[in-house]
Chain A
């Protein structure tokens, strides 16, 4: 938490200002009872109406000044606390954007999203709270104690007893409540889980007629949550009455012992009145402080998670000296590449060597887990190899800037990912310079023109976030069009035809073949049909190349390939 506060630096002047103002405001608040005591002693007791009015007017000034101070302080602290959130968001987003896939794998997309949004909000919220009231609470407490001491030293002993008692009461209740709070959170998660499962599996539940069973599951979670909530609330019910009791008893003690001191002539009435109010102020600021102990741990968890993001250094960075002149165009080469994921015992890829040339189609096939996607992820340098090298146009990908490297690549991922915006914006994502005509052309090759034309607004049709308003096959075709618009040297299709029916798949591949004559094409696929007519097929098995060649060659020589073909066509062979 404290570590994050260093980002408040640009606001240090504002915060100092806020602190000073809050201090002034606290002084004002503390001064009021003294003034009132003056009214009593110098005005009331002497029957001096003029004095009363005079001091009263002064009190008004102090109150107004205090209000002004705290309003300006509120302005400054709002600016700073919200500013902290803004800076944190910007830092976190910036660093996450520079992450390689490795960091994404490590942390996970979902948590990165929560960390950038919710967690930072939480920290910002607490920063607002701290700047707004937590700061003035200790000031108030200390100031109150000083003032109380000034009014009467002996009576301060009452506070010396009362404050620890109050702290004790709060500590005891909070220590029982906090674990229960956590438990409640777990139960809420549970009820959410049951409900979410129920919603996603509604067809299965109804098909298997297990409505009753599901209702029981939900009810169990429901009752469990309710019981826990009631437990928490029961404990919470003790909180306020006991705190009030301690406070009230404190004021009684002040009255009683103050009375004794007055009777002995050690104190006057005004002092007693002022002291009573100081005592209350001190106790309330203690209460505020205790709030801090409840809130800060909450934000602490969020802060730890944010720090984790900020401390994660992206593994892949540009070299100091980058190569940006190339003699070749579209040549891709793997030289003895071995790669393993972090923490994995076995390398995911071992001794991969092959090359792909412009105008040729290189296909990669293999079962799940054979390393196909891993292999192509090395081309745009999503990961760095352990040994060996990946060369594009004769240059190691680690020697050029990521920007230069990726400008050469048109990548179509397995899971088509579109962004909110119009269709043409999405296609243009690949290359901002393309003309409308080129976009149309790319869509045509990707077999997307037909369905785009059917959309309301055509190319200006809005795609919702996550592309929920287009089907899987449409998404794939649009993401292919996006890569086409980029006009790269190397195309990478990572199982990008899986959501298409065979007919569209075939048409698309034919169009691609006709269109892309100068670029290198890498296709990863599961279907034999998709890879059959490639110029070169690489068969991957357990991270190693088990064979390379054309369809016919492989059928003749490669056992793994034959097995794959057999598994997909076995039924037909039987028939």
Chain B
């Protein structure tokens, strides 16, 4: 929502961020504000010219809006002049006629002029003189020249003071101060008691032009800015994405997906909103405030003072309320988090809650959190809700002050009515930009904090780059060797120490061990997802660190228990293993993986789109697809996880056959669950608690009578007896 800054619009949430953000929403604090802000600003530098344009247009547009009320006041003043002059002339004219008649009457009653002048007209010579002068004045209604009219009125006003009560002209009808009388006389001179519609028309036309130009400028500003903000965050997203590709897997182990996702989406979105709305807001608000103050000064410095006095009130009230509401918003956020956590737990564990009959406890706990959330929630809402009435009240204080002082000023003819109206318009429009600027500090804080989280990703240490003279192994055979390899995930927890291993091309290595024994560690090292601490891993006698990562990984194929497929067609998912694969190759791979049949039973066949959760095919079918993908990729070395839990027996058979197809003529590393695989493999690695504790072939290890023998006897003894029975 883009909100305008000029009008005194009763919107309590002028800040960016739509309805969620705005006043009093919790402010996140940046750790290193200055540095991060500067860095964020650097992202804007490619758009310097556009930003300059935005600032220029903002200034231009704002100047016009600022000036408009002042110009409009001219028209209003003109209207007032006309009104006053006309009223004055009408009243004076009527008074003159009346007075002349009265005096004439009195004159006639006198038998001899000059002698024995009777009551009520006193024989004061000055009065007499005044009356005579008064009589000599031409009738206002007959005069057309404005100056003459003004002179007559002036004279009448002067004379009337010297004349006796009932002959006084004007005073009883026109209760005006001397200043106002002067003003009216000036007005008569200027307007001749007519409304100067030519003048007003001209002003209206000027205003129309100003409004249109201002609107155009502000439109252009908005258009330019829309591109700037979005392109900036687009670049930022792109950069983060690139970075993510270069981060070692270690990073992803340590950071939850939710966290990374939220940085790339929510945080960057906040930045976009701020750039889009708040930036222009700051610019226009500041210009508006300054402009308004200047304009107000040109009208009246004393009145401006009244407005300026209210400024600290705005700032103090905003600051205190924000601070208070922050507390409750933070509390609300916390309770909301707890509530969501509880809801999530109870819903995902619904079955358990039901079967153990714990609904009541669950509801009780929910109600407790809900109650706390309610308290925090209404307090937060209430306090932030006070903001607007308070602002409004302060604005009204200024309004009343201006009305009073301005009214008195008008009576002294220091100001025109139009001036006061313009002033009121200015002062009332003051509230919004002030509130916005007060809030903008918080918005910028939060935004910089968001930017900081994004920068944190960008500053993470990248994978060791490929060597410039990286080798390419053409026609790799698939001989793998570990030479004195040391590895640890954590500094002080050695996992693998001086490990030596030789795997001949075409051999199969079975990795066995209880759950959580760290069987995937080896996989991670082979693919160079992690860097070893000591020693070397070699493929065909070449250290894997001397091979380009992309080359190295192309030698490997992977079928893991976690069947990762993306939201696309089955065809594309299989072809993922080999870019530019033909349809024929894809079908061949699917056939070898025993997947062709089920794919063809799907309504769209190979073009079936796997939905987001991948629920339109079963877990076992997914596994077949990943096997097909690996077959198509045709790697030299294969890494395979045999675990196929939650797969029905028939699919299981298919998977086994497919895996057997896949393993042919390759060097295989198998996280083994099947006795047959283990027994037939050339080398068995027995792992426990993250370490390789035994190594050898089936017979060797059995005779050794160690962990493997123990494991074998407990796990496979039954199956062995099975064989005898079956």
A221 to chain B, nearest CB (A): 9
- The answer to whether A218 and B241 touch across the interface, beta carbons within 8 angstroms, is yes
- The answer to whether B393 and A368 touch across the interface, beta carbons within 8 angstroms, is no
**Most chain B beta-carbon contacts within 10 A, residue among A104, A121, A203:** A203
Chain A contacts for B514, CB-based, 8 A: 501, 503-504
A572 to chain B, nearest CB (A): 5
Contact of A39 among B3, B396, B407 (CB under 8 A): B407
Contact pattern, A 82-101, Cβ under 8 Å of B = 1, otherwise 0: 11011001100110111111
- CA distance in complex: A46, B726 (Å): 117
- The answer to whether B653 and A567 touch across the interface, beta carbons within 8 angstroms, is yes
- The answer to whether A117 and B343 touch across the interface, beta carbons within 8 angstroms, is yes
The residues in A between 162 and 177 inclusive whose CB is less than 8 angstroms from any CB of B are none
A529 within 8 Å of B (CB atoms): yes
Number of A-B contacts (CB under 8 A): 486
- CA distance in complex: A196, B241 (Å): 12
Contact of A256 among B200, B212, B356 (CB under 8 A): B200
Chain A contacts for B722, CB-based, 8 A: 528-529, 532, 565, 569, 572
A13 within 8 Å of B (CB atoms): no
Contact of B4 among A192, A244, A495 (CB under 8 A): A244
- The answer to whether A203 and B560 touch across the interface, beta carbons within 8 angstroms, is yes
- The answer to whether A571 and B633 touch across the interface, beta carbons within 8 angstroms, is no
B161 within 8 Å of A (CB atoms): no
A78 to chain B, nearest CB (A): 4
Contact pattern, A 7-21, Cβ under 8 Å of B = 1, otherwise 0: 000000000000000
Chain B contacts for A567, CB-based, 8 A: 649-650, 652-653
- The answer to whether B19 and A413 touch across the interface, beta carbons within 8 angstroms, is no
- The answer to whether A201 and B242 touch across the interface, beta carbons within 8 angstroms, is no
- The answer to whether A241 and B719 touch across the interface, beta carbons within 8 angstroms, is no
- The answer to whether B351 and A101 touch across the interface, beta carbons within 8 angstroms, is yes
Chain A contacts for B265, CB-based, 8 A: 188, 191-192, 195
B10 to chain A, nearest CB (A): 6
Which of A142-150, A208-216, A389-397 faces chain B? A208-216
- The answer to whether A52 and B407 touch across the interface, beta carbons within 8 angstroms, is yes
Which of A56-64, A325-333, A350-358, A516-524 faces chain B? A56-64
- The answer to whether A403 and B357 touch across the interface, beta carbons within 8 angstroms, is yes
- CA distance in complex: A226, B714 (Å): 59
B20 within 8 Å of A (CB atoms): yes
Contact pattern, B 377-396, Cβ under 8 Å of A = 1, otherwise 0: 11101100110111011001
- The answer to whether A193 and B407 touch across the interface, beta carbons within 8 angstroms, is no
- Provide the main secondary structure of the chain B interface: helix
A571 to chain B, nearest CB (A): 3
Contact of A502 among B564, B714, B723 (CB under 8 A): B714
A269 to chain B, nearest CB (A): 6
- The answer to whether A101 and B350 touch across the interface, beta carbons within 8 angstroms, is yes
A417 within 8 Å of B (CB atoms): yes
Known: A201-B564, A471-B516. A59 touches B417 (CB 8 A): no
A523 to chain B, nearest CB (A): 15
- The answer to whether A97 and B359 touch across the interface, beta carbons within 8 angstroms, is yes
Contact of B354 among A53, A406, A429, A486 (CB under 8 A): A406
- CA distance in complex: A12, B221 (Å): 46
Known: A503-B714, A532-B718. A222 touches B400 (CB 8 A): no
- The answer to whether A419 and B349 touch across the interface, beta carbons within 8 angstroms, is yes
A67 within 8 Å of B (CB atoms): yes
A397 to chain B, nearest CB (A): 13
- Provide the main secondary structure of the chain A interface: helix
- The answer to whether A96 and B229 touch across the interface, beta carbons within 8 angstroms, is no
Known: A248-B68, A403-B357. A223 touches B211 (CB 8 A): no
Contact of B649 among A79, A121, A272, A563 (CB under 8 A): A563
B386 to chain A, nearest CB (A): 5
The residues in B between 659 and 718 inclusive whose CB is less than 8 angstroms from any CB of A are 674-677, 679-680, 710-711, 714-716, 718
Chain A contacts for B367, CB-based, 8 A: 90
- CA distance in complex: A215, B558 (Å): 21
B334 within 8 Å of A (CB atoms): no
- The answer to whether B339 and A89 touch across the interface, beta carbons within 8 angstroms, is yes
Which of A230-238, A334-342, A435-443 faces chain B? A230-238
Known: A196-B257, A498-B645. A74 touches B650 (CB 8 A): no
Known: A66-B392, A109-B348. A209 touches B516 (CB 8 A): no
B240 to chain A, nearest CB (A): 9
Chain B contacts for A215, CB-based, 8 A: 241-242, 245
Contact of A43 among B83, B340, B407 (CB under 8 A): B407
- CA distance in complex: A241, B280 (Å): 14
- CA distance in complex: A284, B377 (Å): 28
- CA distance in complex: A67, B313 (Å): 15
A125 within 8 Å of B (CB atoms): yes
17 contacts between A and B (CB under 8 A): A36-B403, A44-B417, A70-B389, A78-B382, A82-B374, A191-B237, A197-B566, A210-B576, A213-B579, A222-B238, A240-B222, A241-B218, A244-B211, A402-B354, A407-B357, A500-B515, A507-B714
* Further 6 A-B residue pairs, CB within 8 A, beyond A237-B222, A368-B647: A63-B393, A132-B385, A213-B579, A241-B219, A552-B725, A569-B722
